Structure 1
Amino acid sequence: MNAPVSARQQAELAQRIASDPTISAWVSASAGSGKTKVLTDRVLRLLLQEGQAANRILCLTFTKAAAAEMQTRLARRLGDWACADDAQLDAELLALGCEPSETLRRRARSLFAEVLELPGGMRISTIHSFCQSLLHAFPLEAGLPPQFSVVEEAEASALLADAREAVLAGGTAPAENLALMAGLVSAEDFSQVVTALMKERHRVASCIARCNGVAGLRLRLARLLGLEDGADEEEVIAALCDVPDEVARAAAALANHKNKTPRELAAKMRAWLELNSDRRSAQWQDWHACFFTSTGTLRTALAGIAAMEAEAARIQEMMGRLASCRLLSATEALLALAHPVLTHYDARKKSAGLLAYDDLIVIAQRVLKDP
């Protein structure tokens, strides 16, 4: 009978498997659970392979702190190997999943000096630093000025604010979209939304380009929201206010109910039904309130009345379409205003020979795909 395997042993086995450089591994774990250890072990096992040049290994991280931690751990482990006796070194190699041998011990002890002699040490850097060095090496292929520089966050925020003011104050922003956004968000909120979009501007621009502009994107969004018929908010409200005749008859019957609450509800319904179409549209929330409580549940007085329950379901469907219309209009207005701001922002960066950190990744990816 096999002895039970502890959680620690299971974790160590999983780490050893993930550190095998001959397989591709995706490691997802919480902070402090050993992700950096797995990466360090993986690099060490790569270095131990015969004929593997240390300068051919590239390690990318997201933060400078992580890159520095990797450098420190590798240097410490390789330094320990250089000074360890055979028993200590064999234990280290076995822990990595390697079978000790005289050849492997000799290789392990030589790695510290090999890495120490590398110009700049092991190639461990942030992804942004790597992309920047790549683009500096191939600026013409990337379509960049040779002496481009990376804009810092504070300067990027200032450039974005200038671009936003230039578009909004320059009379180029569509008036109807500007009016809609002004009714939905404050100037500060709009600024925050544009800042958030700035981080995704390459994806936004690509999406708009694939749809042949904001108008084309609106049509695609309309299909996704089930608004292929092109209905707008006014049309949906008008449809909501076009109440079936059987509902009016049910309201008349409800007026004769023995209890006071249903009779009062019937009176409110009849008062609303007597309005003309324009006034109904202006007061459509009153009709909604006749059927639903403030928490959105069907009023008890209407439960079990088929015509009223059917009307409640119809109102809910119309409310869903109304929400979709509003979402569509707000999205179109936001993109119609934000897209020229982001375009202006990119133009200002380009004229100054500047790149944002996210530009580095996007342009480097493009160069690597189509050099």
Structure 2
Amino acid sequence: DTATRQRARMLFGQVLDLPGGMRIDTVHAFCQSLLRRFPLEAQISPHFAVADEAEAASRRRAAREAVLGDDSRTAEAALRLLAGQISETDFAGLTDRMLTDAQARLAKLASRYETVGGIAAMQAAALDAPDADEDAILLSIVKFDDRDIRATLRAVSDRSSDKAREKAAALLTWLDLPPAQRVARLDIWRDGFFTGSGAPRAITTLLSKTLDAAQPELRSSIEAEQTRLLRMMDRLAARRLADLSAALARLALPIHTAEQGAKQLNARFDYADLIARAAQLLVDPGAAWVLYKLDGGIDHILLDEVQDIAPAQWAVIDAIAAEFFAGTGTRPDGTRTVFAVGDRKQSIYSFQGAD
């Protein structure tokens, strides 16, 4: 209504008349000014500069090449494993994303787990990966009591359609192979029971309706093998994913360490660093002094376009806003507010985790 609009205009005028006026910053700019104000507490050079994207990309490339050029057995083994899954170009893009979009998570891993082995153990546990290595799991897949399924496939060969007989014959041939050759041709056995997308094949691909009705135990035998094979293939997939994740960590963490060392040495940081270091500054045990000083100069926080604020940026805002309502503050008689405006439908930074 008219009265509300008039009051809004009056309040806006009062804000503009405040000493220093209204401070308007992007989150990045605020973090940059915060670090310049408290460089010692943030353990950063007071004369740090912000690197542009070209410089940051060049630094990431140099760190990556330094680690990949390492002739250690650990790096060589990790590269050999990853080489079968990803091209050189894709690997460069993946490590770039890990050092930019996922930098905060990578830094947390590095600080929480003292060694790459610790990270690998955590990943394996999260994936419920078995302790056995890939070769042992493959051997356990192909070495099993096959008497029941062998008898079922023979029955299919004798009494089913020509197409089903052909499939059964191929599977029986696989069963006659020694374990090492079974492993080499595991796709034959898997394809006999599952589609290319991993879904169980319909029983009718092996059993005709007549044979299924006459000998229902054949269906049970096929379904039992599908269940066993699915369980074992899941174990194999978990082990492989854990090994690939560990290999990536064995390369990504040294690259991250090398890049961070170059940043610290040259006192040149990118925008993600500003956010991460500001957030760390505000949650460190010694942050009470910093928060106290900020609390004395900030009464209100107005956030615009909040749908585009990423979690790392929220960590900075949350730390400051929490101080508003902790204890009496430096100005106990003042009114403290947090006001946020956003529209989920206008979100354009969800790829950075903004929500």
- TM-score scaled by length of structure 1: 0.67
Whether the 8 Å CA contact 1:302–1:309 is kept in 2: the answer is no
Q: Note the 1:106-255 alignment, pairs <5 A.
A: 108=11, 111=14, 114-115=17-18, 118-119=19-20, 121-172=21-72, 174-199=75-100, 200-227=102-129, 229-244=130-145, 245-255=147-157
Whether the 8 Å CA contact 1:247–1:308 is kept in 2: the answer is yes
1:363 matched to 2:277? The reply is yes
If asked which structure has higher relative contact order (CA below 8 Å, sep 6+), I would say 2
Q: CA deviation at 1:112?
A: 6.8
1:321 matched to 2:242? The reply is no
Whether the 8 Å CA contact 1:135–1:142 is kept in 2: the answer is yes
Distance verdict in 2 for CA 1:243–1:160, change over 3 Å:
same
Query: Aligned partners of 2:27, 2:159: CA distance in 1, in Å?
Result: 73
* AA matched with 1:368: L
Q: Note the 1:19-30 alignment, pairs <5 A.
A: none
* Structure 2 unaligned blocks of 5 or more: 213-218, 288-355
Query: Aligned partners of 1:351, 1:320: CA distance in 2, in Å?
Result: 46
Aligned-residue identity in percent: 33
Partner of 1:263: 165
Q: CA deviation at 1:153?
A: 1.3
Q: CA deviation at 1:250?
A: 1.4
Distance verdict in 2 for CA 1:109–1:241, change over 3 Å:
closer
Distance verdict in 2 for CA 1:241–1:345, change over 3 Å:
same
Partner of 1:92: 5
Query: Aligned partners of 1:125, 1:276: CA distance in 2, in Å?
Result: 70
Distance verdict in 2 for CA 1:271–1:91, change over 3 Å:
closer
Q: Cα deviation per residue 1:44-71 (whole Å; 9 max; x = unaligned)? A: xxxxxxxxxxxxxxxxxxxxxxxxxxxx
Query: Aligned partners of 2:253, 2:16: CA distance in 1, in Å?
Result: 53
* Structure 1 unaligned blocks of 5 or more: 1-86, 97-104
Query: Aligned partners of 2:159, 2:170: CA distance in 1, in Å?
Result: 14
Partner of 1:68: none
Q: Cα deviation per residue 1:4-55 (whole Å; 9 max; x = unaligned)? A: xxxxxxxxxxxxxxxxxxxxxxxxxxxxxxxxxxxxxxxxxxxxxxxxxxxx
Higher mean displacement: 174-183 or 216-225: 216-225
Residue number among 301, 313, 318 corresponding to 2:205 in the alignment = 301
* AA matched with 1:114: D
Query: Aligned partners of 1:113, 1:151: CA distance in 2, in Å?
Result: 33
Query: Aligned partners of 1:258, 1:366: CA distance in 2, in Å?
Result: 68
Partner of 1:44: none
Note the aligned Cα RMSD (angstroms): 2.3
Whether the 8 Å CA contact 1:233–1:322 is kept in 2: the answer is yes
Q: Cα deviation per residue 1:259-285 (whole Å; 9 max; x = unaligned)? A: 222222221121111100110111111
Q: Note the 1:78-89 alignment, pairs <5 A.
A: none
Q: Cα deviation per residue 1:349-368 (whole Å; 9 max; x = unaligned)? A: 11111122122122222222
Query: Secondary structure, in 3 states, of the residue corresponding to 2:143?
Result: coil
Query: Aligned partners of 2:31, 2:99: CA distance in 1, in Å?
Result: 19
Distance verdict in 2 for CA 1:144–1:283, change over 3 Å:
same
* AA matched with 2:159: H
Distance verdict in 2 for CA 1:112–1:293, change over 3 Å:
closer
Partner of 2:290: none
Residue number among 258, 267, 292 corresponding to 1:353 in the alignment = 267
Query: Secondary structure, in 3 states, of the residue corresponding to 1:243?
Result: coil
- TM-score scaled by length of structure 2: 0.70
Q: Cα deviation per residue 1:80-128 (whole Å; 9 max; x = unaligned)? A: xxxxxxx96x35147x5xxxxxxxx9x648527615xx44x41110111
Query: Secondary structure, in 3 states, of the residue corresponding to 1:256?
Result: helix
4+ runs deviating over 6 angstroms: none
Whether the 8 Å CA contact 1:156–1:356 is kept in 2: the answer is yes
Query: Aligned partners of 1:256, 1:138: CA distance in 2, in Å?
Result: 83
* AA matched with 1:215: G
* AA matched with 1:286: I
Query: Secondary structure, in 3 states, of the residue corresponding to 2:41?
Result: helix
Distance verdict in 2 for CA 1:112–1:294, change over 3 Å:
closer
Q: Cα deviation per residue 1:285-323 (whole Å; 9 max; x = unaligned)? A: 111122234454414233552111110121112222222
